[in-house]
Structure formats: C-alpha cells, structure tokens
Amino acid sequence: MSRVILFHKPFGVLSQFTDEGSGHPTLAEYIDVPGVYAAGRLDRDSEGLLVLTDDGRLQHRIAHPKSKQPKTYWVQVERVPDEAALEALRRGVTLKDGRTRPAKVKRIDAPSPLFPRDPPVRFRKSVPDSWLEMVITEGKNRQVRRMTAHVGHPTLRLIRAQVGEWHLGGLRPGEWRDA
C-alpha cells in the first residue's frame, strides 16, 4: 500500500530533500520518512500543502499537467481586482509560455487560520491588498504569480490549500501527517 504524506511547507523551504549547496532549508529538516518524494513542487517563496508519496505512479498522476489535478490556492494580491480582472483569469491569460487553462477565481476574506509568515508580507498604507481563491488544473512555472501579475495584481503571498482530494486541514507550517 502506498504512503501519502501531507505537509504544510513553510515559506522559504525548498520542495526537495537536498539543498544542493543553496543554504536554504529543505524537506529533510521536517520529514524523516525514507522513500517518499514530493508530488509536484511549491516554489521557495510559496507556502502550503505539499503532497509526498512513495508511489511513483501516484506521484506522476498528481504532478503531471495532463492529469488536470485541481490545485486550490489562497492568493494575497496588491489592490482589489475588479470583475474584469477576475474574468480574465477565469478565461485564461496568455503568458510568455502560452495560454493558461481557465481558472476558477473568487474574492475571499483572509483565510483562517492565517499563520504569520517570516518574513512578513510587506505592508504599504497607500496600497490595499485583498485575497483570492484560485483553482487551476495545470502547473506552469510560477503560474499563479504570473497570472495575477498579468491582470495587474501582483501576488504578495501564495498559500496552496488543496491538491485534488487532499487539503491542509489544521496543519500548521512545518507540520505533516499521513493522509
């Protein structure tokens, strides 16, 4: 039987077990389970759910774009997007590496619980921010960040809340549990 681990990856942690000389913290500092590997990845400056497994086929199914596995993100962006910006994201936008699939997007209140981030997101009195929930079914490099920037609302904080059927639940940053 395959093992599936759900991990709340903190900001600044690499989605791999070795740092290859980068000096950044890795999964090895949080998870001491032999034979499991991340199914997909989260950038160092993103946080939230990372699914790990010892099943190569499951890992491929989760990570491969052809599987169209839905991934839900909570996205803090600069300013409050209007309906036109949200609709552009819902239709899909054209980035340098091609058009994105349509995203499901809605404005949300700040997620709860929202754990502090180290370092904290920059705060600017003159520029409000807001939260979106985005569901995408592909995983181009830094896709959510590039999509929000494309419609004029740069991402300030990005938290993956769900991958397919798995969700963060009550996991705090740095905690993991078996699925």
- Check if 43 is active-site: yes
d(CA 49, CA 25): 17
CA geometry: angle 50, 51, 53, nearest 5 deg: 145
Catalytic residue among 43, 97, 109, 178: 43
Residue 131 Cα distances to 10, 17, 30, 73, 157, angstroms: 19, 31, 28, 10, 9
d(CA 170, CA 8): 9
Which residue, among 4, 2, 8, 7, has the nearest Cα to 173 in the 3D structure?
A: 8
| Amino acid found at 41 | R
**Residues annotated as catalytic (active site), given as ranges:** 43
